[in-house]
Amino acid sequence: MRVTITGASGLIGSKLAEALKQRGDEVIPVSLRTPGPIELGDVVVHLAGENVAQRWTDEARQRIEQSRVEGTRRVVTAINEAGPKPRALISSSAVGYYGKHGDERLDESQPPGDDFLAKVCVAWEHEAQQADTRVVRVRTGVVLDQSAGALAKMITPFKLGVGGPVASGKQYMPWIHLDDVVGIYLAAIDDERWTGPVNATAPEPVTNKEFSRALGRALHRPAIAPIPAFAIRTLYGDMAEIVTEGQRAVPRRTLELGYRFRYTDLDEALKKATSASA
């Protein structure tokens, strides 16, 4: 199989490309920063987009939205103009789609929120749905991998003994190990039953306080120094809502489609994800 991947050099893209090559598939990496036609394979995996984890200035908000909406539109246009068309578009999204819901359990049937990230996700997914092929929208949570992403930023303060829960610590973190994110994308590529939104989150999300304690155990460090919400907001502005708020997202549809998670226990997932850092 030939698989086109946008964002192939990113955290998820690079690991997915490696997994595809290992099983004998051909990977076609595509940069949306480069003008010109997009080379399409049998399936397109669309991961490219501006990093959300930055201070949300007006310019950053514009880049975040445009990279997802316009980038997805470009990919979809290429698919719709192709002949024959790719068998599927597997498009990334995020659990930020649901907005703020406290401790309410959120499966794929829940309506979207109305904050900045939710509106970006809605527009992002809308563009993906215009593709004239099977479309899967993968709403990803906090990906556990020590090389990049949220966990990579958490490890240093914890190793220094100054890590701990953020704000009240009661907000939920819909975590998932990187290996399971890749597994979900592979399942979505291969199985034609996969369509529509699927949550890429472990079956049991935990609170920020529970996550902090588990990370402390994995690194053999204390996790008792709470980080005030105002400190996070001072550093990151409105972007702080990613960590001070949360979503208790659960993968109901993902499980119904038969995906079997490799990591359902947070301690085991963090032990694997931080094995070279402890």
Q: What mean pLDDT is predicted for residues 82-101?
A: 95
pLDDT for the residue 183:
98
At 139-175, the pLDDT tens digits run 999 999 988 777 887 788 888 777 777 777 899 999 9
Could you give the CA distance from residue 1 to residue 87 in angstroms, rounded to a whole number?
Answer: 11
Could you give the CA distance from residue 165 to residue 226 in angstroms, rounded to a whole number?
Answer: 5
pLDDT for the residue 276:
55
pLDDT interval class at 82 (50, 70, 90):
very high
pLDDT for the residue 174:
92
In a domain, 248, yes or no: yes
Is residue 77 scored above 50 in pLDDT?
A: yes
29-43, 90-104, 216-230, range with the lowest pLDDT:
216-230
Answer positive or negative: Cα dihedral of 102, 68, 198, 218: negative
- Give the position of tokens 């563009």: 127
pLDDT for the residue 150:
76
Could you give the CA distance from residue 81 to residue 186 in angstroms, rounded to a whole number?
Answer: 25
28 vs 155, residue with greater confidence: 28
In a domain, 278, yes or no: no
89 vs 211, residue with greater confidence: 89
In a domain, 166, yes or no: yes
Give the global pTM.
0.93
Strand order in the sheet with 43-46: 26-30, 2-6, 43-46, 88-94, 134-140, 196-200
Q: Are 65 and 123 in contact (CB under 8 A)?
A: yes
Q: What mean pLDDT is predicted for residues 42-56?
A: 88
Label residue 58 exposed, middle or buried (CB < 10 Å: 0-12, 13-18, 19+): exposed
CATH number at residue 268: 3.40.50.720
Query: Rounded to 5 degrees, what angle do the CA atoms 227, 233, 238 make?
Result: 140
Query: What is the count of structural domains for the chain?
Result: 1
97-106, 206-215, 229-238, range with the lowest pLDDT:
229-238
pLDDT interval class at 55 (50, 70, 90):
confident
Q: Tell me what percent of the residues of the chain surpass a pLDDT of 90.
A: 69
Is residue 234 scored above 60 in pLDDT?
A: yes
Which has the closest alpha carbon to 33: 76, 4, 70? 70
pLDDT for the residue 231:
61
Could you give the CA distance from residue 172 to residue 207 in angstroms, rounded to a whole number?
Answer: 4
pLDDT for the residue 162:
75
50-64, 71-85, 107-121, 255-269, range with the lowest pLDDT:
50-64
Taking 3-state DSSP, the helix, strand and coil percentages for the chain, each rounded to the nearest 5, stand at 40, 20, 40
Could you give the CA distance from residue 49 to residue 67 in angstroms, rounded to a whole number?
Answer: 5
Could you give the CA distance from residue 174 to residue 176 in angstroms, rounded to a whole number?
Answer: 7
Is residue 278 scored above 50 in pLDDT?
A: no
Could you give the CA distance from residue 78 to residue 74 in angstroms, rounded to a whole number?
Answer: 6
Q: What mean pLDDT is predicted for residues 2-14?
A: 96
154 vs 2, residue with greater confidence: 2
In a domain, 25, yes or no: yes
Average pLDDT, the chain: 90
pLDDT interval class at 229 (50, 70, 90):
low
pLDDT for the residue 149:
74
| Domain limits for position 175 | 2-273
